Amino acid sequence: MGLDLSSIKKFDNLELLAKELVEGFITGLHRSPYHGFSVEFAEHKHYNFGESTKNIDWKVFAKTDQLFVKQYEEETNLRCTILMDISQSMYYPKPKYDKIRFSIYCAAALSHLMISQRDAVGLIGFSDGVKLTTAQKSSKSHLHQLLLQLSHWMETESTQSSSSQIAESIHAVADKISRRSLVILFTDMFQNSSSSTDLYESLQHLKHKHHEVLIFHVSDQNTEKAFNFEDRPYLFIDSENGRKIKITPSLLKERYRIKTEKFYHDIQQMCGQLKIDFVEVDTKDAFDKILGAYLVKRKKMR
């Protein structure tokens, strides 16, 4: 079983955490330290004396006492943009910020994985509009900058008064990315004003530009989907528009769950119609679920 949020007390170095998550995932997939997973992007072959030593995998040599050479198919295999919802609702539940923290750990691991395989990755953050856009690059220095930005979003709730304008942001992203790419979206799908039609049209815009799309719908399913709270009065505050309501959850639970199931079903149906990969994610899930879903999508695109 892979690591999850409960297994990680505190990691000051997001770069180290990303590396640990990826290496643990790869180790779990394959018994051999050099064969299997990497074949999806690059493969190893026995080193023949006289060849350049530039691509020898010294880590594999340390583990196996054999010389292997990395063979890459091309300098950049894939172009990807990670689209991160940094609106107020993603910072639920306080004070741990589990949805944003989970999403950032996953984005960090995915970025590390892709750049280690010479794929190009960019990052876009949005709330009530696009807040940050980086270029798609495959260098280690670029990875460092991406992880610094992700760390900033996790440590500083700079969007505390912002609502999410998902549809408008996706339209902007579709216009910004000029070359065919994989767009990976981390969001809880909570939005202030956009309708389901607006969301459909924005996702359709991405597809029209020939982008592949993978959506991770992130939620704290125990409270946001099952509505499991203690049987006592609570003050609920809508993080997207600030509205407040005081109620005992048990009085609302059944109606809430029916509406939530419809909400999930409608989004899944929408993505199915557009041939978009949609993955429901609980913040208590292991990170391997996200990395595995990415690999499945990556293989489809080959």
The domain spans of the chain are 79-300
Cβ neighbours for 63, distance < 8 A, ≥ 6 positions apart: 33, 34
Amino acid (one-letter) located at 33: P
Q: Does the pLDDT value for residue 96 go beyond 90? A: no
Q: Return d(Cα 75, Cα 219) in angstroms, integer.
A: 36
The mean per-residue pLDDT over the stretch 240-251 comes to 86
pLDDT at position 34, please?
A: 35
The amino acid present at 175, given as its one-letter code, is D
List, for residues 137-193, the tens digit of each pLDDT value.
Answer: 999 999 999 999 999 998 876 444 566 788 999 999 999 898 899 999 999 988 765
At how many degrees (to 10) do helices 288-300 and 14-29 cross? 70
First to last CA, the chain: 28
List C-alpha distances in Å: 103 to 11, 100, 242, 279.
15, 5, 23, 13
Phi, psi angle pair for 134, to nearest 5°? -115, 160
Instruction: Look at residue 30 in the predicted model and tell me its pLDDT.
Output: 57
**Do residues 35 and 66 make contact, with C-beta atoms less than 8 angstroms apart?**
no
Q: Can you tell me the distance from the alpha carbon of 211 to that of 180, in angstroms, rounded to the nearest whole number?
A: 5
Structural fold of domain 79-300: Rossmann fold (3.40.50)
**70-93 pLDDT per residue, tens:** 654 444 478 999 999 998 889 988
